[in-house]
Amino acid sequence: MAHTQRALLAALLLLAGGCGRHAEPARDPMRTAAGAYERAWPVMGTMLHVTVWDEEESEAAVIAQAVRAEVALLDSLLSNYRDDSDVSRVNAAAGSGAWVAVSPMTVEALGAALAFAEATGGAFDPTVGPVVDVWGFYREEGAMPSASAIDSARALTGWQLVEMDRSPPRVRLPRAGMRLDFGAIGKGFAVSRTLEVARDRGAERIMVDVGGNIGVSGSAPGGGDWRLGLRHPRLPELPFAIIDVARGALATSGDYERYFEHGGVRYAHIIDPRTGWPVQGVASVSVLAPDGTASDGLSTSLFVLGVERGCAFIEALPGVAAVWVRAPEQPNDPVRVVVGGPEAGRVELLAEADVRRCGDAAR
């Protein structure tokens, strides 16, 4: 673990653009704060919300447009749904032997994804795409695949197989049918990049929300920490906890985003690459981390690692807090929550819940 954690920390340090912060429903009061300029656009198959404080409206509009342009650029590089994106071109060339020239930003995002893959022993795997596909999650038509279809898809995964050069920036996948998937880290990467862009343009206090990946720069309106709400995985209108954020970014991975039910079991879009099956037992994981890339990468990683391995993984990661909500076995079961990481003290539960800390004796 020491070696893999060093690799992860190196990646976090390289990528940390400063201080992002995020949350979900509890941001609304801040959005309506006096002096805030707000815009929202559809991007990356989700919504981008930008809120800029303390700027002249014309300057705030320029900053918000720069943020929008950066997210649109990243979408044009990393999207799985556009034939001309870097990622789609790399996937289409898989197995041909040809290198595909890509943007330096694509290589940066892929480097971060591969660092998470290495650090988590492959629990996070940006090549898991063929398995996501066989379960129907790209088409939003989830259905139970056959065991042999799962095995064939798994044979086309493996982050160690990805070939990547930084200079010139280029990528190659050795087997036909392999495919990269940035679904687990692209939005958080966009949060990190947009906060850098906004700061370069002079923004001092800004919140960027890319589909629930939330980053903030500067202190909260009125000064002090940001108080960001965590979405309840089964009651989306209710924040079930608040994280007090002095620095960092927040992301949530959930079993409620894309899923189907079969035989009374919920199968959701986050795959355990070791088995090729959707992860069971976790409803959501929210992660506070030093920047957007780290929080997004960690939220998916900790979803797959689960409570026991995940708690050990983040124990010594600076600036990190994680909140797992276990999947209820019956609809009326009490909410079971596990909180961990060096910043765990920043989490305040609002709803009645059965709360454990990482390190408490396992039940």
- Asked if 184 interacts with Mg ion (CB under 5 A), we say yes
Interactions with ligand AMP, residue window 134-193 (CB under 6 A): 137, 181, 183-184
Burial status of residue 303 (CB atoms within 10 A of its CB: 0-12, 13-18, 19 or more): buried
- Asked if 300 interacts with Mg ion (CB under 5 A), we say yes
Residue among 220 and 305 whose Cβ is closer to Mg ion: 305
Phi-psi region at 119: left, alpha or beta (left = phi > 0; alpha = psi -120 to 50): alpha
x/- letters, 183..222, toward ligand AMP (CB under 6 A):
xx--------------------------------------
**β 354-357/336-340 pair status:** parallel
x/- letters, 82..111, toward ligand AMP (CB under 6 A):
------------------------------
CA-based nearest residue to 235, from 302, 284, 308, 303: 284
CB of 299 to ligand AMP, least distance (A): 5
CB of 11 to ligand AMP, least distance (A): 15
Q: Tell the residue number behind the tokens 């088995």, with chain if given.
A: 275
Q: Which does 327 bind (CB under 5 to 8 A by kind): ligand AMP, Mg ion, none?
A: none
CB of 297 to ligand AMP, least distance (A): 8
Q: Which of 37, 53, 124, 313 binds ligand AMP (CB under 6 A)?
A: 124
- Asked if 284 interacts with Mg ion (CB under 5 A), we say no
Q: Which of 158, 221, 239, 273 binds ligand AMP (CB under 6 A)?
A: 273
Q: Which two tokens stand for residue 336?
A: 């079971």
Q: How far apart are CA 326 and CA 341, in angstroms?
A: 17
Interactions with ligand AMP, residue window 251-270 (CB under 6 A): 253, 258, 269-270
What are φ and ψ of residue 177, in 5° steps?
Answer: 95, -15
| DSSP code at position 278 | E
CA-based nearest residue to 64, from 176, 209, 187: 209
Q: Tell the residue number behind the tokens 């708690």, with chain if given.
A: 311
- Asked if 128 interacts with ligand AMP (CB under 6 A), we say yes
Residue among 96 and 280 whose Cβ is closer to ligand AMP: 280
Residue 117's Cα: distance from chain center in Å? 14
Burial status of residue 97 (CB atoms within 10 A of its CB: 0-12, 13-18, 19 or more): exposed
Residue among 212 and 319 whose Cβ is closer to ligand AMP: 212
CA-based nearest residue to 191, from 294, 341, 314: 294
Size of the site for ligand AMP (CB under 6 A): 20
The CB-side HSE value for 151 (13 A sphere, CA atoms) comes to: 3
Q: Which of 19, 220, 271, 317 binds ligand AMP (CB under 6 A)?
A: 271
What residues make contact with ligand AMP under the rule CB under 6 A? 124-126, 128, 132, 137, 181, 183-184, 253, 258, 269-271, 273, 296, 299-300, 303-304
